[in-house]
Amino acid sequence: MSRALNSVPRHVGIIMDGNGRWAKKRLMPRSYGHNAGMKAMIKISERAAERGIEYLTVYALSTENIISRPADELEGLYNLLRKYFGENAQKLCAEGSAIKIIGDLSALPPDVEELLKKGEANSPENARFTLVFAINYGSRSEIARAANLAAAKGGITEESLENELYTAGIPAPDLIIRTGGEMRLSNFLLYQAAYAELYFTKVLFPDFTPAHFDKAIEEYMSRERRYGGSR
């Protein structure tokens, strides 16, 4: 049951790590790195759409980030969303692409929550490409939430649990990329990534170009996927 070689993944997830270290190397505040990372993410999403990838999920802000990051850094991240999200969401939708938000938005400033929900609501149906933002997202809390909802509706099975995940209706990720040199998933799509291929690179995210993205895709396309089966 292996996926044919040389096929483009339908769904790619990216853990965008290294913004802070990138800024520190330049003796700049972390906000400088987050700004550069946002610009890099826009370029990567454009390349993903060009390559025929159907879903790109970017890990923008974790539940742990909300708890542990200083208030001024979080405000800087919210300001980046205020600065970039509306205009780029409108551009994506005009090009026939869609936006989906996964995570608990209730902890965000009301105007940011409204901005994100508006971008999602204005997305076209049957889009050829969907950019998924994981914001105030944590996979463990997502699974616990889904289990409670499924139990309340009659029982927990794989199907009922999956129907209550934030990603319901989205195919499981084929490939997860992590930049910045760390080699772990950090609470990102743990249930969904059961059989995903993993790709780690030392490149810090602001330096992660479409060419680096292409390299990850080519690496994925060279692998044989067995979904737990033998050769």
Give pLDDT, residue 227: 72
- Say if 227 falls within a structural domain: no
Catalytic residues: 17, 65
- Say if 230 falls within a structural domain: no
Q: Mean pLDDT across the stretch 178-204? A: 97
Confidence of residue 1 (pLDDT cuts 50, 70, 90): very low
Q: What is the pTM of this model?
A: 0.93
Pairwise CA distance, residues 174 & 11, whole Å: 6
Share of the chain above pLDDT 70, in %: 96
In this model, does residue 20 exceed pLDDT 90? yes
- Say if 231 falls within a structural domain: no
- Say if 192 falls within a structural domain: yes
Give pLDDT, residue 37: 95
Give pLDDT, residue 187: 96
Confidence of residue 3 (pLDDT cuts 50, 70, 90): very low
At 126, which amino acid appears? N
Give pLDDT, residue 159: 96
Give pLDDT, residue 68: 86
Q: Mean pLDDT across the stretch 163-177? A: 97
Name the least confident of 93-97, 127-131, 133-137, 227-231. 227-231
Sheet with strand 98-102: strands edge to edge: 98-102, 130-137, 55-62, 11-15, 175-178, 197-200
- DSSP annotation string for 120-164: HHTPPTT-S-EEEEEEEE-HHHHHHHHHHHHHHTT---HHHHHHH
**Torsion of the alpha carbons at 28, 29, 32 and 38, rounded to the nearest 10:** 140
In this model, does residue 53 exceed pLDDT 90? yes
In this model, does residue 230 exceed pLDDT 80? no
Q: Which domain CATH number covers 175?
A: 3.40.1180.10
- Say if 56 falls within a structural domain: yes
- Say if 177 falls within a structural domain: yes
Number of H helices and number of E strands within the chain?
8, 6
- What is the tally of structural domains in the chain? 1
Contacts 24+ apart (CB under 8 A), 21-27: 21/180, 21/204, 22/204, 22/205, 22/206, 22/207
- Say if 174 falls within a structural domain: yes
Give pLDDT, residue 65: 87
In this model, does residue 189 exceed pLDDT 90? yes
Q: Which residue has the higher pLDDT, 224 or 206?
A: 206
Give pLDDT, residue 181: 97
Which domain, by its residues, includes 112? 11-220
- Say if 228 falls within a structural domain: no
Confidence of residue 229 (pLDDT cuts 50, 70, 90): low
3-state DSSP assignment of residue 111: helix
In this model, does residue 2 exceed pLDDT 50? no
Question: What residues contact 55, with CB distance under 8 A and at least 6 apart?
Answer: 10, 11, 12, 129, 130, 132, 170, 171, 173
Q: Which residue has the higher pLDDT, 148 or 72?
A: 148
